[in-house]
Amino acid sequence: MTPSDRLILALDHEDPKEAIHLVDRLSGRIKTFKVGSVLFTHAGPSLVREIQKRGGAVFLDLKFHDIPNTVAGAALQAARLGVQMLTLHTLGGREMMHKTAESVREAVLRERIPAPLLLGVTVLTSFDQAMLQETLSSPSSLEEMVVHLARLAHEEGMDGAVASPRELPLLRKDLPRSFRLVTPGIRLSSGNHQDQRRVADPRQAIAQGADYIVVGRPILESKNPIETVEAILREMESPG
Ligand code: C5P
């Protein structure tokens, strides 16, 4: 994969027109655009189609978490929309992941639609150890929980997981190389960190085993988004 195959732009806009404007400006350099729940709730599947019409691939980041039948049904609709990847919460459990992977796989064969990557979200990065224990009443450490949930995801047919830079070494040690890791929390070595606490620069994230990196504000808030994208692509290429 080339650096531009691995770079995903998070379209964290409220206004779909702004999002499409940025897709138009950057689509020569960026191939995949992440649509999250805010933009999707506003603009829906038609925005996904608009991005695809422009040649962009879509990472649909809706983090599904419900009973197995419902998540499988939602993932199936996302697959029919032709998204390249989508997320669901691994805390939905084994059966939910299993049924989702099975339903999507069957539909891919039956309907000859492209297979989306199914990505598990483990523990949200907004959680710390105390919140995890309070919420789940579990004695496991945050790191143990992340590895445990990623293993479950792998066993039940997920293609990969969303992993913060700090989790990359742990997960790369524990899971086969074919399990895709998608990493947000990326900051250019020269830039500011906004509210992300556990950050890595693009080169570090790739070196630690990220298959894809997700970047939002460093590009969205840049005075020159094209230049910032070029700088990120260069950092991804440099061996360090
Ligand atoms: O603006 P920034 O580069 O921090 O954006 C990162 C993107 O990745 C945002 O869309 C954010 O919601 C998402 N994300 C994250 N941490 C996670 C999962 C997703 O920052 N654990």
Residues 112-169 pLDDT 10s: 999 999 999 999 988 889 999 999 998 899 999 999 999 999 999 999 999 999 999 9
- Domain total of the chain: 1
The predicted structure's pLDDT at residue 240: 57
Per the model's pLDDT, the better-predicted residue between 199 and 101 turns out to be: 101
pTM of the model: 0.95
CA dist., res. 107 & res. 89, Å (int): 21
Ligand 1, residue 124: give the atom nearest the CA: 21
Contact between 64 and 121 under an 8 Å Cβ cutoff? The reply is no
Ligand 1 mean position, distance from CA 215 (Å): 7
- Residue-wise burial string across 99-131, b where 16 or more C-beta atoms lie within 10 A, e elsewhere: bbbebbeebeeeeeeeebbbbbbbbebebeeee
The β-bridge partners of 60 are 35, 86
Ligand 1 mean position, distance from CA 231 (Å): 19
Ligand 1 mean position, distance from CA 106 (Å): 31
The predicted structure's pLDDT at residue 239: 61
Taking residue 212's Cβ as centre, other Cβ atoms within 10 Å add up to 25
Percentage above 70 pLDDT, the chain: 98
Burial tier of 177 (Cβ tally within 10 Å: 0-12, 13-18, 19+): exposed
Which range marks the domain in which residue 9 is found?
3-237
Find all residues with CB under 8 Å of 209, minimum gap 6, and list them: 168, 169, 171, 172, 181
Ligand 1: residue of 8, 9, 12 to mutate (most ligand atoms within 8 A of CB) is 12
The β-bridge partners of 86 are 60, 118
Q: Quick: pLDDT tens for 181-233.
A: 999 999 987 777 777 667 899 999 999 999 999 999 999 999 999 999 999 99
Residue nearest to atom 11 of ligand 1 (CA): 184
- In three-state secondary structure terms, 88 is strand
Contact between 146 and 122 under an 8 Å Cβ cutoff? The reply is yes
Ligand 1 mean position, distance from CA 43 (Å): 19
CATH number at residue 49: 3.20.20.70
Tell whether the torsion through CA atoms of 101, 103, 105 and 107 is positive or negative: negative
Pocket, ligand 1, Cβ cutoff 6 A: 10, 12, 36, 124-125, 162, 164, 184-185, 194, 196, 214-218
Ligand 1: residue of 214, 228, 229 to mutate (most ligand atoms within 8 A of CB) is 214
